[in-house]
Amino acid sequence: MEPLASVILGAGHGTRMRSRLPKVLHEIGGLPMLGHVLATARGLGAERRVVVIGSQAPEVGEAARALDEEALVFVQDPPRGTADAVRAGMAGLDGFDGIVLVLYADTPLVTEATLRALGAAIAEGAALAVLGFEPDEPGAYGRLVTGEDGALVRIVEAKDASADELAIGLCNSGVMAIRSDVLREELPRVGNDNAKGEFYLTDLVSLVTGGGGRAAVVTAEESEVLGVNDRAELSVAEGLFQTRARLAAMRAGVTLQDPRSVRFSHDTQIGQDCVIGPSVVFGTGVRLAEGVRVEAFSHLEGCAVETGATVGPFARLRPGAELGPRAKVGNFVEVKKTTLGEGAKVSHLTYLGDAEIGAHANIGAGTITCNYDGYGKFRTKIGAGAFIGSNSALVAPVTVGAGAFVGSGSVVTEDVEADALALGRSRQVQKPGWAASFRSRMEGK
């Protein structure tokens, strides 16, 4: 394919979202919609990634640079239509010669494969290629009028269409590819002689075909070109993303026991032969090696789990959690900024924060690492093969040596030597007959 550049339009006000957050920064799969479009452009190898924003939302430009440090940001002020938005970003294409993709920051689900097909249409001789789709309800979508040879003749807005044109099922998504030289030549000729007084990118089609150039149509599924304008459509887009992610995981060799209840993020990595139980949620930054098992109702974020480890049910892995091969994190266990060595076990009812757990160590139920004193965080180190009894509190900074035992119910405030037994609790005192005497006095009252 010829060299690619992308112009991503994100200047809309998005008032129907009813949000202080700009529309294109609302997330799908844990990534802003703008981030999805930028990632797709990068995946295609686009040499220039131009983002056009509105003056009312400078934070969109800041987000674009944070999501892609090579993004080129330009402002459309005032908003005067899609062609005017592309015109605002043309400086970002100075010196570029190739195919320009015009994308939309609120249309995040268009795939690389579809955009490659658009680019291929240009490589095959078209000056411009438009992405079309056939919705169940064409409604107010612009119609794509094609000739007998299948080439695109013009785009007709629904409000201007005749009855015959309204019967056309092929509609305009807005996404297009165009040769850079054609764009430079024809964009200045787009006028605003319409009811809204705006400059429409769709007018490029008639300008190109009127000048003897060829315009092509590439089609996609309606779900792929969904534009998000409000919270309901955001929910639909999230659902479509999740369906894609689930199918991709299963096709890659992952078992999802109840696919519809599992939630993925845009960057979730799951190895072959993993088994994922019902109602598991993956936040951003999760990597599972091969053969990991995650039981029901677990929440994972910013963590890495190695081969053969098990998580859950009802477990939470927070950012910085790293589980070694065949480690176990059981039910109602929370792990944060903690590494578990190979075969280490934390079976239930435990909090481990800012800790290092050695290979094959065993952490009893009810254990907590007291890692925060209200001002700073401190680390706990537990050596290989150590055994921490139930209901123990390890007050960091503290080290428990390899093979050491900590008695149940202990509060450990000092380092424990390797292979030692630590008891940090009061000696038990027994008073024979006290309970019976107490009951008698109380009942007498």
- Separation of alpha carbons 72 and 96, rounded Å: 13
Count Cα atoms within 13 angstroms, Cβ side, for 175: 32
Closest of 335, 255, 342, 243 to residue 298, by C-alpha: 335
Q: What 8-state DSSP symbol labels residue 184?
A: H
pLDDT reading at 195 higher than 80: no
Helix, strand, or coil (residue 335): strand
Q: Which two tokens stand for residue 47?
A: 């040499």
Q: Which two tokens stand for residue 340?
A: 């578990």
Q: What is the mean pLDDT of residues 66-75?
A: 97
Select which of 26, 36, 299, 348 is catalytic: 348
**Where do we find the tokens 């039981």?**
295
- Separation of alpha carbons 367 and 349, rounded Å: 7
- Separation of alpha carbons 376 and 47, rounded Å: 45
| pLDDT for res 292 | 98
**Where do we find the tokens 């598991």?**
280
How does residue 194 score in pLDDT terms, banded at 50, 70 and 90? confident
Domain edge (last residue) among 225, 246, 270: 225
Convert the pLDDT of each residue in 3-13 to its tens digit: 999 999 999 88
Q: Are residues 211 and 265 in the same domain?
A: no
Q: Are residues 249 and 397 in the same domain?
A: yes
Q: Are residues 253 and 193 in the same domain?
A: no
The secondary element (H helix, E strand) that includes residue 8 is strand 4-10
442 is a domain residue:
no
Do the beta carbons of residue 275 and residue 255 sit within 8 Å?
yes
pTM higher than 0.75: yes
pLDDT reading at 439 higher than 90: yes
95 is a domain residue:
yes
440 is a domain residue:
no
Q: Are residues 391 and 336 in the same domain?
A: yes
Question: In 341-441, which ranges are E strands?
Answer: 345-357, 362-363, 368-370, 380-382, 387-388, 393-395, 398-400, 405-406, 411-412, 421-422
| pLDDT for res 121 | 96
Q: Which two tokens stand for residue 352?
A: 């481990």
Do the beta carbons of residue 10 and residue 26 sit within 8 Å?
no
430 is a domain residue:
no
429 is a domain residue:
no
Burial of 381 (0-12, 13-18, 19+ CB in 10 A): middle
How does residue 256 score in pLDDT terms, banded at 50, 70 and 90? very high
CATH number of the domain to which 385 belongs: 2.160.10.10
- Separation of alpha carbons 227 and 217, rounded Å: 19
Burial 53-77 (b: 16+ CB within 10 A, else e): bbebbeebbebbeebbeebbbbbbe
Q: Which two tokens stand for residue 236?
A: 């639909």
CA dihedral for 31, 36, 38, 43, sign (positive or negative):
positive
pLDDT reading at 367 higher than 90: yes
Domain edge (last residue) among 201, 225, 249: 225
pLDDT reading at 322 higher than 90: yes
Q: Are residues 142 and 156 in the same domain?
A: yes
CATH number of the domain to which 76 belongs: 3.90.550.10
Convert the pLDDT of each residue in 217-251 to its tens digit: 999 999 999 999 999 999 999 999 999 999 999 99
Do the beta carbons of residue 177 and residue 188 sit within 8 Å?
no
Q: Are residues 186 and 287 in the same domain?
A: no
Q: What is the mean pLDDT of residues 439-443?
A: 94
What residues are paired with 145 via a beta bridge?
A: 154
What is the residue-averaged pLDDT of the chain? 96
| pLDDT for res 160 | 83
What residues are paired with 310 via a beta bridge?
A: 293, 328
Q: Are residues 201 and 251 in the same domain?
A: no
Q: Are residues 173 and 263 in the same domain?
A: no
Q: Are residues 84 and 202 in the same domain?
A: yes
Q: Are residues 315 and 273 in the same domain?
A: yes
Q: Are residues 244 and 220 in the same domain?
A: no
Query: Phi, psi at residue 383, to the nearest 5°?
Result: -75, 170
444 is a domain residue:
no
Burial of 428 (0-12, 13-18, 19+ CB in 10 A): exposed
- Separation of alpha carbons 71 and 63, rounded Å: 10
Burial of 323 (0-12, 13-18, 19+ CB in 10 A): buried
- Separation of alpha carbons 378 and 372, rounded Å: 6
Q: Are residues 243 and 379 in the same domain?
A: yes
Q: Which two tokens stand for residue 441?
A: 């006095």
- Separation of alpha carbons 380 and 336, rounded Å: 12
**Where do we find the tokens 């249409």?**
121
| pLDDT for res 52 | 98
How does residue 428 score in pLDDT terms, banded at 50, 70 and 90? confident
Range in 163-167, 319-323, 328-332 with the lowest mean pLDDT = 163-167
Domain edge (last residue) among 209, 225, 241: 225
Total tally of structural domains belonging to the chain: 2
Question: Range of 10's domain?
Answer: 4-225
371 is a domain residue:
yes
How does residue 308 score in pLDDT terms, banded at 50, 70 and 90? very high
pLDDT reading at 1 higher than 80: no
Convert the pLDDT of each residue in 116-149 to its tens digit: 999 999 999 999 999 999 998 998 899 999 998 8
Query: Phi, psi at residue 93, to the nearest 5°?
Result: -105, 10
**Where do we find the tokens 């075909």?**
209
| pLDDT for res 196 | 81
348 flagged as catalytic: yes
